[in-house]
Amino acid sequence: MLDFFERQERARKRTTLLTLLFALAVLFLNIGVYLAVVLTINLCFDPQKLIDSSFGKFSHRWWDPELFLWTCVITTSIIAIGGIVKTIELSQGGSTIAEMLGGNLVPPNTNDPKLRKLLNVVEEMAIASALPVPRVYVLPDKSINAFAAGLTQHDAVIGVTQGCLTYLNRDELQGVIAHEFSHILNSDTRINLRLTGLIFGIVGIAVIGRVLINTRSNGRRQNPLAFLGLALLIVGYVGVFFGRLIQAAISRQRELLADASAVQFTRNPDGLARALKKIGALMYGSQISSPHVEETAHIFFENARTSRLFSTHPPLEARIKALDPSWDGTFPVLIQPEEMYEAPQKPPLVAPTLQSATYAPEVFMASVGTVSPKAVEYATEWKEQIPSKVLETVRDPTGAMCMLLATLLSENQEIRNQQLITIEDSFGNKLRSEILSAYEQLRTLPVYSKLYLLKLGLPAIQLLSITHLKKLISTIDKLILTDNKIDLYEFALAQAIKRHVLPVINPSVLRRPVQYYSFRPLLADCAMVVAAVANAGAPNYAAAKTAFLRGWSSSALSQFPPPQPAGNTISIDALQQALDKLALAAPPIKRAVLEAAAHAAAYDGKITASEATLLRAVADVLGCPIPFFVQGV
C-alpha cells in the first residue's frame, strides 16, 4: 500500500492527467463550435448553394482557416474565462462549495442531538488523524450523501445531507465520515476543486447556446443566432459528455481507495456497507437537487445525479460487494429513525500516556497521514475525559478565543499580569475573568491535550470577524514574546493557529503551488529543521551533533554532505523561514526532512514529549499530519 508521501505525489501527478484530458476536451469542442458556426452561416445565408454544391465547392465552403482560427480563439477564451472565474470563486476554500450546494453551517456549539452526534464523529476522526477539525455543513436533501471539499487540509469542510442524519446510525455515519477524511488526507479535495472549475468552463458553451436560442428574429429572415444557439447547445452537451468522462476517469478509482481507507481507519466494514445499502433502499437514493450538481458530482460520497450514465462512482452494488462479499443483493427495509439500532458503547480504554514513548522512526514515518482504529478509540476516550464545561467553552467562538489566550499565560504571576494587560489592550477588560477561569481549568492539562483541545476550537475561532482574527494573531505573538523567549509549546501553538486562521484572513495563501522539486536549494533549510529537533532532546551540543548526523544519514538527504549543524540555540525566526520554504517543497523532499528529523529524535532510543511536540509542529507546517501519538500504532 502507498504511504502518505507516495499518495501525495500521485495526487500531484493526477493534475497532469487532468490537464491532458481537459486539453483533449477543448480541442474537440473547438472543432464542434467551428462546425456549428459554418453550418449556421451556410443554412441561414445560402442554403441552396450548400445543397447544390459539388464536392470541391462543398469542401471550400466548409473549410475556412481564418474562421477556424478565430472560432478556436473565441471558444478557448470562453472556456478559459469560465474556468478561471469559477476557480477564483472556489479558491476561497471548501466553504464556497458547501454554500454553493445549499449547505448550512453547523454551529460548533449546537445542542441538537443529531448534529451533535455528527460533530462528535467529525471531531474524533480529526483528532485521530491529526488533521484540523473541518467545518461541517448539512445539505437539505433527503437523500444519503456526503462530500469533502477544500484546497488544503486547513480550509477543508465536510458536508452531509439531511438524509445522513435521519437514516444513519453512529457506526454508519462514522464509515461515511472516514471515507471523506481519506479524501482530505490524500489531497483529493484539491484535485476536485480544480476539476469543478474546469468542468464549469466546458459546460459554459451549452449555457451560451441556451441564451442564443432565446434571441428573437427580426421577422424578415431566419434568425442566425437561434440556429447558432441550437448548434452550440448540441456542442455544449458534447462538452457535458466530455466533462462526465473526465470526472469518471479521475474519480472512480479514488472512491474505491477511499472505501478501503475508511475500513482501515475504523476496522468496521459493516458500518460503511450498511450506509451504502441504505442508499440502495432509499427512494431518494443519493441524488442531490442542487443546480450545481453537474460540475460537482465527482466530490460526493455516492453518485449525485439521477442518471448513472458515465457515473463518477463505481456501481453501488460493486462497492457493497467489495465490503461485504456475503451480500445477497437485497437492500434492507428502512425503519423509522427512532427505532434505529445504535451500537452499544464500547468499554472505556486506558488513556494513553504521551509524555515519553519508545517509538521507532520507521513506525513514525509509516503512521504519517494514516488513521488507525485504536487512534480513533483513543480520540473518543480522550474527549470523554475532558470536562463537559471545557468542551462547551471551546465550541463557542469567544470561549475558544479565551481558551487559546489562556493557554499562553505564564505561571509566573508578574509575567502573567503583563500578558493580561496586553490582552486588555487588544480586546478590552471584558474577557479578563473568562480567560482567568479558562487558565485555571487548563493549567494542569498536558501539552498534547491543550493542543488537541485548541484544534477542537478552530472551527469556532474561524467564525470570528476578520478584525478579531487579526487582533488574535497579533496578540498571540505579543504574549509569546512577553518573557523574551519561546518554548516548544508556544512555537507549536503559534504554528497551528497561523496555519489554520490565516487562510480565513487571506485565502490567497491556499493557492501556493509546489515551488521546489530539488533538494539543493533547500539543504540549509533541511539542516535547520533537523538540527532543531536534534537540539530539542539532546542534553548537550555533542549529543545534538550526533543526533543530527544520525538523522541526516538515515534519509534521502544522505546523498548530500551534511552542512555544519547549528549550535545549541536556534533562532525561531530562522526555523520559521526554513519551514515556510519547505512547505512549498514536493512530497519526496518533505518525506526526507521528516524522516531525518524522526531519526534525530530517536537517536537515543526514545522520543520525548518535547521532541514529539516539535515533530508535530514541523509536520503540521509541512502538511503531513501525525496521528494520535499511541505507542505501537
User: What string of DSSP letters covers 28-73?
Assistant: HHHHHHHHHHHHHHHHHH-HHHHHH--HHHHHHHH--HHHHHHHHH
Residues contacting residue 56 through CB under 8 Å, at least 6 positions apart: none
Strand bridging mode 146-149 / 157-161: antiparallel
Q: Output the average pLDDT for the chain.
A: 79
For the chain, what percent of residues have pLDDT higher than 90? 17
pLDDT at 344 exceeding the cut of 50:
no
What's residue 625's pLDDT?
Answer: 82
What integer is the mean pLDDT of 562-566?
69
- Give which of 500, 499, 481, 603 is closest to 552, Cα–Cα: 603
In this prediction, residue 559 carries a pLDDT of 92
Q: CB–CB of 201/231 below 8 Å? A: no
pLDDT score recorded for residue 13: 60
Q: pLDDT confidence of 422, banded at 50, 70, 90?
A: very high
| Side chain identity at residue 387, one-letter code | P
Burial class of residue 619, CB neighbours in 10 A (0-12, 13-18, 19+): buried
Closest to 398 measured CA to CA, from 464, 442, 477, 451: 464
Strands (E), 42-181: 104-105, 135-139, 146-149, 157-161
Full 3-state SS string of 250-272: HHHHHHHHHHHHHHHHHCCHHHH
pLDDT at 353: 42
What integer is the mean pLDDT of 267-294? Answer: 89
What are the tens digits of pLDDT across the range 151-175? Answer: 888 888 999 999 999 999 999 999 9
What's the CATH superfamily of 96-192+252-337? Metalloproteases ("zincins"), catalytic domain (3.30.2010.10)
Picking from 433, 295, 357, 263, the residue whose alpha carbon sits closest to that of residue 613 is 357
Rounded to a whole number of angstroms, the CA Rg of the chain reads 28
Please give the Cα distance from 461 to 405 (Å, whole number). 12
Its sign, for the CA torsion 192, 194, 200, 202, is: negative
Please name the amino acid found at residue 481.
L
Query: Regarding predicted confidence, which is higher, 1 or 201?
Result: 201
pTM here?
A: 0.76
User: Which range among 56-70, 133-147, 419-433, 503-517 shows the weakest confidence by mean pLDDT?
Assistant: 56-70
Is it the case that residue 352 has pLDDT exceeding 60? no
How far is Cα 143 from Cα 132, in angstroms, rounded to an integer? 28
Asked if the model's pLDDT at residue 556 lies above 50, the reply is yes
Q: Please tell me the predicted confidence (pLDDT) of residue 15.
A: 60
- Residue 407 has a pLDDT of 86
Report the pLDDT value the prediction gives residue 119, as an integer from 0 to 100. 94
Say whether 450 sits in a helix, a strand or coil: helix
User: Average pLDDT for residues 483-504, to the nearest whole number?
Assistant: 74
Is 317:589 a contact under the CB 8 Å cutoff?
A: no
**Crossing angle for the helix pair 609-622 and 447-461, nearest 10 degrees?**
30
The length of the chain, given as a count of residues: 633
Q: Which residues contact 584 (CB under 8 A, 6 or more apart)?
A: 512, 513, 514, 515, 516
By mean pLDDT, which of 103-107, 303-307, 313-317, 565-569 is the weakest?
565-569
The residues assigned a catalytic role are: 180
Which residues on adjacent β-strands are paired with residue 135? 157
- In this structure, are residues 423 and 405 in contact, taking their beta carbons and an 8 Å threshold? yes
The DSSP H or E segment spanning 373 is helix 373-385
Is the pLDDT at 266 greater than 80? The verdict is yes
- What would the pLDDT profile of 90-117 be if each residue is shown by its tens digit? 777 788 889 989 999 999 989 899 999 9
Between 486 and 66, the higher pLDDT residue? 66
Whether the predicted pLDDT of 186 surpasses 50: yes
Query: Where in the sequence of the chain do the CATH 3.30.2010.10 domains occur?
Result: 96-192+252-337
